[in-house]
A and B are shown apart, each in its own frame.
Chain A
Amino acid sequence: MPVNIRIPTPLRKLTHDEEVVETSAENIGQAIADLETRYPGIEERLLDESGEVRRFVNVYVNEEDIRFLDNKDTAIKDGDEVSIIPAIAGG
């Protein structure tokens, strides 16, 4: 069972409208690199010039923000769920 990555609406053009894609990468950084090989252009949407996850992008592994884990080095394993979500306003 691979890892499922949920793709947010603004990126679905790049994934040909796929809402969920799979990866067998072992951490978040590798997963993004893996996505880039299959959906060229996606990496520069997610990472800034220095290669870090963009300020306005939130990445979650099993509902936990990777900034509470190991950022791009956060490990992922079979059956994990990754979500990529733009920052949203308050309430």
Chain B
Amino acid sequence: MVEQQGYMKALCCRECGEEYPLEARHVCELCFGPLEVVYDYEAAKRKMTRQTIEGRPQSMWRYAELLPVAGEPTVGREVGFTPLVKADRLAKRLGIRELWIKNDAVNYPTLSFKDRVVSVALSRAREMGFEVVACASTGNLANSVAANAASAGLTAFVFIPNDLEKGKVVNSLIYNANVIGIKGHYDEVNRLCAEIAGKHNWAFVNVNMRPYYAEGSKTQGFEIMEQLGWKIPRHTVVPMASGSLLTKIHKSYQEAVKVGLVEESEYSVHGAQATGCSPISQAFKQGQDFFKPVKPDTIAKSLAIGTPADGFYALKVFKETAAASDDVTDDEIREGIKLLAETEGIFAETAGGVTVGVAKKLIASGAIPADDSAVLCITGNGLKTLDAVENHAGSTREIAPSLREFESLLDSDKELAAATQ
């Protein structure tokens, strides 16, 4: 018997069911399957009523019974509860009846959904006694580990591919983290980190802490349901790198039914990738239940994982929820970013462009019917990926500080408008 901690009962292999104690470990020794936290759902159900949750502070920790920490969270207590925005103008442009944006581009403190997973991973790491935290990252995770470690007084090592956007690099350096740029793509960073994690006794948030870390993503799903008035959205569109966020949003919907927070209802969780790194959506389109690894080549660097650890489970989610997966080109990603900005005033990073672009395709193809309702998960902030759009956003028009020059600028605009009518 493994000793229960808080609402956590054990770690359990998703493939063969073998149980392990609640330690910093992520792989089944028998079959290499990923380990997942098992909860005491009966106890959680007694505590988690809509009313008690609504009375708690507005952060992701209002769902604490289904998060993997034994005691009170100590890192990132203010993370989450980002706006769910009704996006009528974008809905019209995409041709759908009702559309919502879950806006994690303004998550606290580092402007991406990664603050959710890091808050959980570092709170758990601290209660296990670790003093050094680390991660392999495509950028956003590194930013969040660096910032949250700084505020918690932990030492951080973050490993990133050396070709990331400047905004993402500076955003890790500023917190005085150890930032290591690896000459290679993310999958090589990942492999190296697995080897480093085998040598040093650190809390690697997405290696040995993965079972805890990944659970943090569920809070995006819990919030969406609560903000919709305790309902599972009919359609959700989620960007995928490793596929972890998507599988955890799906899990949050299942758990909410299990503990009685929402009624069971029909739903689909759709996946979005960049064509230049789309192993999961290619496998879906070819009807395969396992993906083939690829070498990434896309402006959506945050999603550039060629060997997605949860790809297999993401494909299962599409099957189980009658959902689809698709991918968009670099040009479509930029168009998606611009469309979201112009219609809703939200500036997303490249992953958001992927989500909007794929949503457009899924609505056009009927995979998301036009008379339905959908939630788009916007997971990161456009200010971090300026490189991707700076030459595509138009340019400022410069004039002298002169009223005459400004009036003549307006006049020439009018003439141009008249000529093109």
Contact = CB atoms under 8 A, between A and B. Distances in A.
Contact of B206 (A9, A65, A68, A88): A88
B26 interface: yes
A64 B65 CA distance: 42
A87 B187 contact: no
A57 B32 contact: yes
Contact of B114 (A55, A85, A88, A91): A91
B241 interface: yes
B34 A87 contact: yes
Q: How large is the interface on A (under 10, 10 to 19, 20 to 34, 35 or more residues)?
A: 20 to 34
A11 B290 CA distance: 24
Nearest to B158: A91
A90 B138 contact: yes
**Most A C-beta atoms less than 10 A away, residue of B27, B34, B308:** B27
A86 B197 CA distance: 12
A51 B187 CA distance: 25
A56 B33 contact: yes
Contacts of B205: 91
Interface residues of B, number: 48
Contacts of B114: 91
Interface in B206-255: 206-207, 210, 213-214, 241-244
A90 B312 contact: no
Nearest to A56: B32
Contacts of B188: 63
Interface in B306-320: 307-310, 312
Contacts of A45: 29-32
Contacts of B210: 88-89
Given A45-B29, A86-B32, 7 more contacts: A10-B27, A10-B32, A68-B293, A87-B32, A88-B190, A89-B242, A90-B242
